[in-house]
């Protein structure tokens, strides 16, 4: 009888272990590192226990500028399981949300988190000079905005980073989006002021060469890949090495399946390799 009762408990423990992003023995996790006074101004760190001078993937979650969390399974599980054992530090950042903070202030929060993470990177075995920015959906818009206007980050103490990977944001040319028919969530985020649209638009802010840029887009969304191609073309014309990776995946799958053993992950890793992060 005791063995029979123990079996469900054992199975539950196995399931719990399977849900974790990586084996605890292989990974050091530091949660809720503060980069500001607000409860949302926190990030989590996942690092190889023996890391020394490791490259750092700095990830910004999505959620329509209004919801989302750094510990979401779709954000953390497959990416940490893939990259932490391969010698990367993976950092997942929260930021203040609507209505407390508008997207420009959210970008500044991301910049503050980046500066704090670079300042402390060595304590987790990371190299502050080997950061890659990565974000999904609204988070992809925020990292693209910072990539387009690096002064947002540099003026808040961040150091230059190696490159940027934006995962399926259609919000790259906000001036065009806001003047055309669009989802109501854009009105909540960006309002009705054309001057604000320009300030929050990665395409409008893009005016000089920058770090290499990879735009991943879903071919299942009508607006995503055209927006990525237009942004990449403008970046290339300015002298930035920019490319587009089109994937037959849903918006959610673009985030969740990155890190699985698939061609999509290997294509993103090929871009990372060009940044000499390994």
pLDDT value at 68 more than 90: yes
Give tens-digit pLDDT for 4-26: 433 343 333 333 333 444 445 68
Tokens found for residue 211: 């770090």
Asked if residues 65 and 138 have their Cβ atoms less than 8 Å apart, the reply is yes
- Going by pLDDT thresholds of 50, 70 and 90, the confidence category of residue 3 is very low
Tokens found for residue 265: 């992950």
* pLDDT number for residue 25: 62
> pTM for the whole thing?
0.91
Q: How far apart are CA 104 and CA 48, in angstroms?
A: 33
Q: How far apart are CA 54 and CA 72, in angstroms?
A: 24
* pLDDT number for residue 21: 45
Residues recorded for the chain: 278
Give tens-digit pLDDT for 75-119: 999 999 999 999 999 999 999 999 999 999 999 999 999 999 999
Domains within the chain, CATH numbers bracketed: 26-274 (3.40.50.1820)
E-assigned strands of 42-171? 42-48, 54-60, 89-93, 126-136, 163-167
Asked if residues 208 and 177 have their Cβ atoms less than 8 Å apart, the reply is no
Q: How far apart are CA 165 and CA 255, in angstroms?
A: 12
- Going by pLDDT thresholds of 50, 70 and 90, the confidence category of residue 276 is confident
Query: For residue 66, how many other CB atoms are within 10 A of its CB?
Result: 13
Tokens found for residue 117: 């993470």
Q: How far apart are CA 81 and CA 57, in angstroms?
A: 13
* pLDDT number for residue 236: 98
Q: Specify the 3-state DSSP secondary structure of 192.
A: coil
What is the average pLDDT across 251-278?
A: 94
* pLDDT number for residue 183: 87
Angle at 58 between CA 247 and CA 168, to 5 degrees: 25
- Going by pLDDT thresholds of 50, 70 and 90, the confidence category of residue 278 is low
């Amino acid at each position: 009888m005791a063995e029979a009762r123990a079996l469900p408990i054992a199975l539950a423990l196995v399931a719990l272990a399977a849900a974790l992003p990586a084996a605890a023995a292989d990974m050091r996790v530091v949660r809720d590192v503060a980069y500001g006074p607000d409860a949302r101004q926190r990030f989590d760190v996942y690092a190889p226990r023996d890391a020394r001078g490791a490259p750092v993937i700095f990830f910004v979650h999505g959620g329509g500028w209004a919801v989302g969390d750094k510990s979401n399974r779709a954000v953390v599980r497959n990416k940490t399981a893939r990259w932490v054992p391969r010698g990367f530090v993976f950092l997942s950042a929260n930021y203040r949300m609507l209505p407390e903070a508008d997207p420009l202030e959210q970008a500044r929060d991301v910049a503050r988190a980046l500066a704090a993470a670079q300042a402390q990177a060595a304590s987790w075995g990371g190299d502050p000079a080997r950061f890659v920015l990565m974000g999904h959906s609204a988070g992809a818009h925020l990292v693209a905005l910072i990539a387009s206007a690096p002064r947002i980050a540099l003026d808040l103490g961040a150091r230059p980073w190696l490159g940027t990977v934006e995962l399926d944001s259609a919000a790259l040319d906000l001036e065009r989006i806001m003047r055309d028919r669009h989802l109501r969530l854009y009105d909540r985020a960006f309002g009705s002021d054309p001057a604000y649209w320009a300030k929050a638009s990665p395409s409008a802010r893009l005016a000089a060469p920058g770090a290499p840029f990879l735009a991943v887009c879903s071919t299942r969304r009508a607006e995503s890949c055209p927006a990525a191609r237009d942004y990449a073309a403008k970046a290339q014309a300015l002298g930035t090495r920019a490319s587009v990776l089109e994937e037959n995946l849903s918006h959610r799958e673009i985030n969740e399946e990155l890190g699985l053993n698939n061609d999509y992950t290997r294509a993103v890793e090929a871009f990372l390799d060009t940044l000499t992060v390994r």
